[in-house]
Structure 1
């Protein structure tokens, strides 16, 4: 009951702030609840690095994140998403956490979700990490079971090599969630050879300051939802812990010019069933071998 009251108060306060700051009318309310949450934005970016093995030049990576199935995002939408991802012909697929909004509510849909995620085609592999909603109670075990049965490699403070037939490789590292897990960079990076091109998966974007201290070229994160609600000329109204510094898009690190962070806005919603000026996002990255990093 306490959780319900807290959530209700949180929603009332946030909606009130939104209406005041954003000046939303009834039609704006309808847009934020019914229209924008279904307006998928497929963004494309090129990632250049001098460390990338030549064989990986042109490799395509799809990142999707924060579906929060069971709150507003439906299993039917997931099915459409799977088809859209496969149409983009990615070589590698990564999921950066928060599959289910509340693991207790979707146990009956478990097998259907596994079937859909199994249909994702990533010839070089499919990788995932825990988000905060994937932990708690039996949620941690359920998420692990669902992702592994779907053909994903679930990285828990670990790294794996993605290898080509010519023997070249890049590394995918993944750390545990920052809110409810125990992220450990030293453990995650133990296997990675010096000089390797490394992509880090971290649900929490604000772990980037720590990640930039390691030999990591690209960090992919979610968690923020882009704030879900943004105010013109102000930005995100609210972002969760560990997404307060980095809310969406690209960021660099002053002391590590090779390092890039990308924060995906996610697909679903949580707490509030609204998106305003923060469309759901599916991201396509193309890796490029550059003479100089870009």
Structure 2
């Protein structure tokens, strides 16, 4: 028979439970606000395909994305990322959009090129527009900053990576899906059919268009991996054009898509079960 508990014991146990729950709430808030947003994950991906020329075997590309400078991610954080990228010795560097959270309100615009110019990549640095780059009358602001930082802007256009052997691949980029005007036909114009082609698209759900073209790999950001994920339920919120493909790698017919979780935060200064990400891609000749 269960022994009745006294009012004093009941209050004591209730207070203990409340204190434990409060502690978990405070601890969870501290983790999501102060720890996980700084806990960078470096992901390594192999890009393997019969169209990749032998000379590109072992070439390394590094993607960073969605810094959202000025919200939670600051210039000192960008400097740390730049140092990390340089330590990894990339051949190519890719930035897939959303540099500043509100471009026209960010007060340290002139300092950004000083940091980004430290990035070294012998085959070039390339970028595309994200929705926040266009927002807040930011299109020209972003374009000028990236030009000063010696990035090549791929806004519905493409560029060729060529080796001394004459071997080549193409990197193409489309404008942002939300606030820009993505034009795949224009972006891919002049690319031969039998040449390996990478598409940079800020919005991952544009992969459903990429898969209808002669594109072998799409690299995206935008989603932040949901930024806050609920255990067993997944992302709390994902933005438009990142509702279908939220994070990680997808095989879509002849197209491979990788969605990077980005580095910064927006709207809420939290990350939970969605660590900031750098992605390192290495070319391997032939099929995986």
Give the CA deviation at 1:49: 0.6
- Taking the TM superposition and a 5 Å limit, the aligned residue runs for 1:1-294 are 25-106=25-106, 108-253=107-252, 256-257=253-254, 259-290=255-286, 293-294=287-288
Q: Tell me how far apart the structure 1 counterparts of residues 195 and 162 of structure 2 sit (CA, whole Å).
A: 12
TM-score by length of 2: 0.90
Alpha-carbon RMSD: 1.2
Deviation at 1:24, TM superposition (A): 5.9
Query: Is this contact kept in 1: 2:102–2:135, CA < 8 A?
Result: no
Task: Tell me the equivalent position of 2:9.
Answer: none
Shift of 1:231: 1.1
Q: Report deviation, 1:26.
A: 1.3
- Match of residue 17 from structure 1: none
Distance 2:137 2:234 in 1: 36
1:16 aligned residue: none
Secondary structure of 2:108's match?
A: helix
Deviation (angstroms), 1:164: 1.1
Measured after TM superposition, the shift of residue 233 of structure 1 is 1.5
Structure 2: stretches of 5+ with no match in the other structure: 1-22
Give the number of aligned pairs: 266
Structure number with greater Rg is 2
Deviation at 1:105, TM superposition (A): 2.3
Runs of 4+ in 1 over 6 A off after TM superposition: none
Instruction: Give the Å deviation of 1:46.
Output: 1.0
Contact 2:247–2:261 (8 Å) recurs in 1 = yes
Query: Structure 1 stretches of 5 or more lacking a match?
Result: 1-22
